[in-house]
Amino acid sequence: MIAGCPRCANRLDESADGWRCEHHGYVPPLWSPDAASYDGFGDHLRRAEDFPTYLPWPLAGGWRVTDFGVVRGNARARATMVSVAGSTEPDGPVEVLVVSEEPGTGLGARCAGTVHSDPGAEIIASRPTARVRLDSQPVPLWPVSTAEHDLSLDRSVVAGEAGGRWLWLVLRPASAVFLLTGDWPLADVSGMGAHLLDVPFGGPPPGW
């Protein structure tokens, strides 16, 4: 597993005082694999303990888990992320990244390419435009604007709240957000065990 900064692409240096990013100072590391694999995902779930890891579930045919990670220092986990890739009829190749995080962690914003660590202020005034079904409960999601930020990245960002934490979804290309007009299913796979044996892992990791 690689120890990276949850807020940027830097790797972290370990010292007696903790893990340090040269831009963001001391942060809890984002632990992610060199390449996604079933064994690595087992390590990820053990490190995350009871923190949820949300995966599109059941994973549609031809879709793969391309990356995952957990933010955890010496204390309990603060965030998890999973990236899946597949294809849909209107969009062709599609990538969906799911982040669950405690407020102030910054991983969702880094994956989304937005400036604010938490989506709260941005989504409070608007209406939800997307929805997922999480362990059979509908979860409304609000659009997070990316227009002021990196225009070169073709993506949609939506965010909401699940289990008292921020839930972010980043979809590429941007038009793939129409996947989320119905009841797109997500599940917490942290206790799923043997069912995950059937999940394909690997392929190119996301470009964030």
Residue 8 engages Zn ion in binding (rule: CB under 5 A): yes
Please, are residues 18 and 5 in contact by the beta-carbon 8 Å criterion? no
Size of the site for Zn ion (CB under 5 A): 7
> Which residues, 6+ apart, have CB-to-CB distance to 103 below 8 Å?
117, 118, 120, 165, 166
CA 88 to centroid of chain Cα atoms:
20
CB of 106 to Zn ion, least distance (A): 9
Residue 111 engages Zn ion in binding (rule: CB under 5 A): no
Residue 7 engages Zn ion in binding (rule: CB under 5 A): yes
Residue 5 engages Zn ion in binding (rule: CB under 5 A): yes
Query: Cα dihedral sign for 207, 168, 130, 97?
Result: positive
Within 27-87, where are the H helices?
A: 38-48
From the list 9-17, 40-48, 50-58, 64-72, the region that binds Zn ion by CB under 5 A is: 9-17
Residue 3 engages Zn ion in binding (rule: CB under 5 A): no
Q: Which residue is nearest to Zn ion (CB)?
A: 5
- Provide the token pair at 141: 């999601």
Q: Tell me the sheet residues that pair with 95.
A: 85, 172
Residues of span 24-53 touching Zn ion by CB under 5 A: 24
CB of 35 to Zn ion, least distance (A): 22
Residue 165 engages Zn ion in binding (rule: CB under 5 A): no
- Give the CA distances from residue 23 to residues 5, 26, 49, 73, in Å, rounded to whole numbers and listed in that order: 9, 9, 28, 18
CB of 12 to Zn ion, least distance (A): 8
**Which of residues 10, 88, 129, 175 is near Zn ion by CB under 5 A?**
10
Contact residues toward Zn ion (CB under 5 A) are 5, 7-8, 10, 21, 23-24
